[in-house]
Amino acid sequence: MKTAKKIFTRAHILWFLLLNFGLVLLAAGVHFFKSPNHFAMGGTSGISIIAATLLPHMDVGTFMFIINGLLILLGLVFLGRAVISATLYSSVALSFYVWVLERIAPMERPFTDDTMLELVYAVILPAAGSALIFNIGASSGGTDILAMILSKHTSLEIGKALLVSDFCIALFAGGLYGVRTGMYCVLGLLAKAFVVDGVIEGINVRKLVTIVSMKQEEINEFIIHRLHRGATVYEAHGAFSGHGEQVITTVLNRREAVALRNYIRKADPGAFITIVNSSETIGKGFRAI
């Protein structure tokens, strides 16, 4: 009973829901936009799209089951059960979601004739899904397993090796579907890296607020009791005024930063405030170490 309670905590349930939401976004991008347009932009989905074209009696979801299954077996052999178990669920679930979408909403052709618009969604949906998954410390499986194997047993630079393999898949797609499609695949492959980083940064961004004010006690009260955040107060020396000053620093989310700024505007119009973005904040109240 105690073990079950530890597993089914609010944090674990939220983690599981976010993982599956990310996997559904990935599956939707593959099924609705990548597959109908033959956007084979690397990874197991890219290989599966090509394989489904060469062997049309099987669909993309089925090929993803097969390829991910082979990668899982390789992972069990070269990495062991403890390591591979973390990506086992993601690999199976992603293949399953694609397979389900193919059954309930088959795509005979793309939604539109605007290939660039289709490419935008083929990049944004999987990139957003990947960003959510990476941000919670999970993996979508697939070629990530291959990366872990190479990292453990070779001295290859994994990022470069996977990028090269993805480019090879995109170039193969160009040979199979035409130069135009191949160029879109390469463009999508490059764009995905930037979008994933941008989404992760957007999710994690916090506001580092620095305040110089004569109403230090009132502002501290507001931060601690109204925003339920911590703050650091330290003594500083004003170079221009020559006076000692008390400086408050705190880290807040966007909504809290706006609330604090509005409060200070009324409480001390003469306060000096700087607000800068922090791409990642680690510690109590934010992300765990």
Summarize pLDDT for 250-273 with one digit per residue, the tens: 988 888 888 899 888 888 888 888
Quote the pLDDT of residue 26: 92
- Indicate if the pLDDT at residue 136 is higher than 80: no
| Confidence band of 156 (pLDDT split at 50, 70, 90) | low
More confident residue, 85 or 6: 85
Is residue 160 very low, low, confident or very high in pLDDT (cuts 50, 70, 90)? low
* Mean pLDDT across 277-285: 67
The stretch 133-141 carries a mean pLDDT of 76
Do residues 40 and 169 touch, judged by C-beta distance below 8 A? Answer: yes
Residue 163: how many CA atoms within 13 Å on its side-chain side? Answer: 10
- pTM, 2 dp: 0.73
pLDDT tens figures, 24-37: 999 999 999 999 99
Mean pLDDT of 13-18: 87
What share of the chain has pLDDT > 90, as a percent?
17
Give 281's pLDDT tier (boundaries 50, 70, 90).
low
Q: What is the pLDDT confidence band of residue 75, given thresholds at 50, 70 and 90?
A: confident
Q: How far is residue 276 CA from its own chain's centroid?
A: 22
Express each pLDDT in 200-242 by its tens digit: 777 777 888 998 888 888 888 999 988 888 888 888 877 777 7
Q: Which amino acid is at 51?
A: A
Give the residue-averaged pLDDT of 111-120: 92
pLDDT above 80: residue 193? no
Distances (CA, A) of 260 to 180, 229, 283: 52, 11, 21
Q: Output the CA torsion sign for 114, 116, 119, 124.
A: negative
* 241 contacts: CB under 8 Å, gap ≥ 6: none
Lowest mean pLDDT of 25-39, 87-101, 154-168, 250-264, name the range: 154-168
Mean predicted confidence (pLDDT) in 141-146:
74
Q: In the prediction, which pLDDT does 2 show?
A: 47
What average pLDDT does this structure show over 155-162? 64
Tell me what the pLDDT averaged over the chain comes to.
83
Q: How many CB atoms sit inside 10 A of residue 99's CB? A: 18
